[in-house]
Amino acid sequence: MTYELAIGDRTYSSWSLRGWLLLEKFNLPFRERRARLYLPEFDALLAEFAPATLVPAMRLPSGFVVSDTLAIAETLNERHPEAQMWPGDADHRAFARSIVAEMHAGFSAVRAECPMNLRCAYTGFEPGDAVLKDLKRAALLWETAIDRANARGPWLFGTYSIADAFFAPFAARIASYDLPVTGRARAYVDSHLADPAFRRWRAMGLAQNYRQKVYDIDLPETKWRGPPPIGATSTHRTDAENGTCPYSGDPASYYLDIDGRIFGFCNPFCRDKTLHDPAAWPAFMNLYKK
């Protein structure tokens, strides 16, 4: 049973990030189909997922297409009860559904003024009153969830749930624009930035290097606010510690240098996604730690 997921640019498509996390975080089998936003290839991809008109769109093994992240979430939860995608406690589950619905339909000021842009972290952004109101509301929902669930882990209900997948793009916006949240809300944002799956998504977007200038704003940039990556550079040296790619097992022909250690990959994308955040990739770290 393998799903097929249509997504847009990883750097900018917040809804695509949600859909991808719903599959990736719960270890559900899927194949990715992606196309760049605002190009004919994007329309061609969506035509294959008709009647969907937006990403993400998910094709079931039967061939039926499910669009909209709420529908995707509930469909996957129904088909994979073993994945425990909602909190186990009935009251917590009800509250999780409530805040997911609010996230899905609301927070319009942050969406409008702070589009997701995982390329950049800005300084000097001045949020308006409507954005501040959205941030205050999100912090209240997060803290209420943590308190009601008596959550001990990094996530709203202790373990990762659909609710966390839905708030991941919101956390990314807070990071990119340095929006003012403090205390437990800030810690929750940091949990997303440190999450290996989120980091892999961002690293793949940086490796693709699809820049959509419409999302750029004229503000000074600073370092990304997530965990600092292990320093790595591409290299023409070929004396790699490994002869095959850690992801595909194919022969290595593209190379990466970390503190003088050389590692090989089967194609530029495998190399570059690793370059941008080596520690996010378990298969590479197994090699790196030898």
Contacts for 99 with CB less than 8 Å, ≥ 6 apart: 141, 145, 156, 163, 166
Cα 201 from Cα 196, distance rounded (Å): 9
pTM assigned to the model: 0.96
> Backbone phi, then psi, for 70, in 5-degree steps?
-65, -45
pLDDT band at 266 (very low <50, low <70, confident <90, very high): very high
pLDDT by residue (tens digit) across 11-45?
999 999 999 999 999 999 999 999 999 999 999 99
Q: Tokens representing 37?
A: 């936003």
Q: Indicate the pairing of strand 261-265 with strand 254-258.
A: antiparallel
Token pair 């589950």 is at which residue? 93
β-sheet bridge partners, residue 256: 234, 263
What pLDDT does 153 receive?
Answer: 83
Report the chain's terminal Cα–Cα distance, integer Å: 34
Q: Tokens representing 3?
A: 């799903």
Collapsing DSSP states into helix, strand and coil, what is residue 212? coil
Amino acid at 288: Y
Largest CA distance in the chain: 57
The pLDDT mean for the chain works out to 97
pLDDT by residue (tens digit) across 164-210?
999 999 999 999 999 999 999 999 999 999 999 999 999 999 999 98
Residue spans of beta strands (DSSP E) within 164-268? 221-222, 233-235, 254-258, 261-265
pLDDT band at 1 (very low <50, low <70, confident <90, very high): confident
For residue 134, pLDDT over 90 is answered with: yes
Neighbours of 14 (CB within 10 A): 18
Cα 226 from Cα 193, distance rounded (Å): 5
Give the residue-averaged pLDDT of 84-110.
97
What pLDDT does 143 receive?
Answer: 96
Find, among 50, 53, 48, 64, the residue nearest to 15 by Cα.
Answer: 53
What pLDDT does 151 receive?
Answer: 78
What pLDDT does 220 receive?
Answer: 97
Amino acid at 49: F
Contacts for 180 with CB less than 8 Å, ≥ 6 apart: 127, 132, 135
- What are the structural domains of the chain? 3-83 (3.40.30.10), 90-199 (1.20.1050.10), 233-288 (no CATH)
